[in-house]
Structure 1
Amino acid sequence: MTDDRRPPAEEPVLPESTPTDRPADVPARPAGRPRTRLLLLLALGVLALDLVTKLVVVATIDMGEDVRLLGGALYLTQYRNVGAAFSFAEGWTVVFSLVAVAVAVVIVRTARSLFSSAWAVALGLVLGGAVGNLVDRVFRDPGFLRGGVVDFLSVFGPDGEVWPIFNVADSAIVCGGILGALLALRGIDFDGSRAGDQQRADAT
């Protein structure tokens, strides 16, 4: 009598799927949370510092007065700038006001896709500075979008003899712009990745 019992056939073992299994053409989601909070907090800090310093200067320093500090390395004064940062292109106040509005809108719209802390710092500085000077152009004389921005920092000489007079907002815009340019040159994207990372991954 033969034994017809056979061992049960082994079922094929399917590979376990992992969260990282995705089509090759679908980019991976950047790790971590968007750096929106860092951007906005830095922008608010720059804006607050800019507004406070301008209010103090207007309240304590008369037009044309120079306060010598640091042995002449820095002078405090009060000057109304109707141009861009560092008194560039005076007479284009309305144009620069509209540009500041456009810059602020673009940066805020970009914030949700921002995963790079360095880019958050760069754009936060630019946003805070742009809004700080925009407040002056909106609310100060001679009128809406044409107001003179309060500049008060003069280095190495009074009244902008060596370098154009500037303020905290101007400094933030320039520093943020320089940082952004360096990040772009290094190929760092808003999500924190480098421009060549995806190409190297595809090659492997």
Structure 2
Amino acid sequence: MKGVTRLGWLAYAVAAVTVALDQLSKAWILYGLELPARGSVPVAGPLNFTMVWNQGVSFGLLRADQDLMRWALALFAIGVSVVLAVWVRKAGRPVLAWALGFIMGGAVGNVIDRIRWGAVADFIDVSAIGFFPWVFNVADAAINIGIALLLLDMIRGEKRETSAKPTEDAA
């Protein structure tokens, strides 16, 4: 694609790898481990694999029990992904490219589930540690990592702009 920076391509690659890891992990959970039939499986320490079909947004917020909401959420996530895909074409900072790649990949991974099954397959359960009661998946983790990196990039950008401006005393 014409006009895509090297970092834009990096973001697209991060998104593609994220989608692949998300979908492969869900295939293994659903068909290899057969988690829907088993319910929950202890893994190590506070980590369990627990099958949850999430019809809402991240962590079960804004439930989408009706088909209309299912498709509305899918279309919204696709729209966000398209906006990010256009934005990242001109990415000039590595952290921004990684952030947008993770968010795009996570959004697409969950959209695939919503379209295929009408809900998102969540299975990573660390509720045993007590303060995080939600069950999530690789796509959700990628979205959250992407948002954290996006915030970091914004903070770093603001610091660079502030330090680049001359002070009144120096003028």
TM bucket, shorter chain: 0.7 to 0.9
Do the aligned partners of residues 161 and 197 (structure 1) sit closer, same or farther apart at CA in structure 2, a change above 3 Å counting? closer
- After superposition, give the CA deviation of every residue in 1:51-90 in whole Å (9 maximum; x if it has no partner): 001111111213462110113x111122110011111111
The change in CA–CA distance for 1:148 and 1:64 in structure 2 (over 3 A counts) is: farther
Q: Distance in 2 between matches of 1:149 and 1:124?
A: 20
Q: Is the 8 A contact 2:96 2:153 kept in 1?
A: yes
Residue identity (%)? 32
CA distance in 2, matches of 1:162, 1:115: 35
TM-score by length of 2: 0.81
1:19 alignment partner in structure 2: none
Post-superposition shift, 1:178? Answer: 1.2
Work out the number of aligned pairs and report it: 158
- The answer (yes or no) to whether the contact 1:77–1:152 under 8 Å persists in 2 is yes
Q: Verify the 8 A CA contact 1:128 1:172 in the aligned structure 2.
A: yes
Give 3-state SS (helix, strand or coil) of 2:79's partner. Answer: helix
Residue 167 of structure 1 is matched in structure 2 by 137
Match of 1:62 in 2: 36
Of 53, 65, 90, the match for 1:113: 90
Q: How big is each residue's C-alpha offset from its partner over 1:11-66, in whole Å with a ceiling of 9 and x where there is no partner?
A: xxxxxxxxxxxxxxxxxxxxxx5411110111111100000011111112134621
Runs of 4+ in 1 over 4 A off after TM superposition: 196-200
Matched to 1:69, the amino acid is V
Instruction: Report the Cα distance in structure 2 between the residues aligned to 1:67 and 1:161, rounded to whole angstroms.
Output: 20
Corresponding residue for residue 120 of structure 2:
149
Partner SS, residue 157 of structure 2: coil
Indicate if the aligned counterparts of 2:123 and 2:137 stay in contact, CA closer than 8 A: yes
Query: Gaps spanning 5+ residues in structure 2: where?
Result: none
Equivalents in 2 of 1:125, 1:135: separation in Å? Answer: 15
Partners of 1:36 and 1:187 lie apart in 2 by 18
TM-score, length of structure 1 as denominator length: 0.69
Instruction: Give secondary structure in 2 for the equivalent of 1:37.
Output: helix
Instruction: Pick one of 40, 49, 54 that aligns with 1:81.
Output: 54
The verdict on how the C-alpha distance between 1:63 and 1:84 changes in structure 2, with shifts beyond 3 A counting, is farther
C-alpha separation in 2, matches of 1:87 and 1:135: 17
Cα pair 1:64 1:79 within 8 Å, conserved: no
Which structure has the larger Rg? 1
Alignment root-mean-square deviation, CA? 2.6
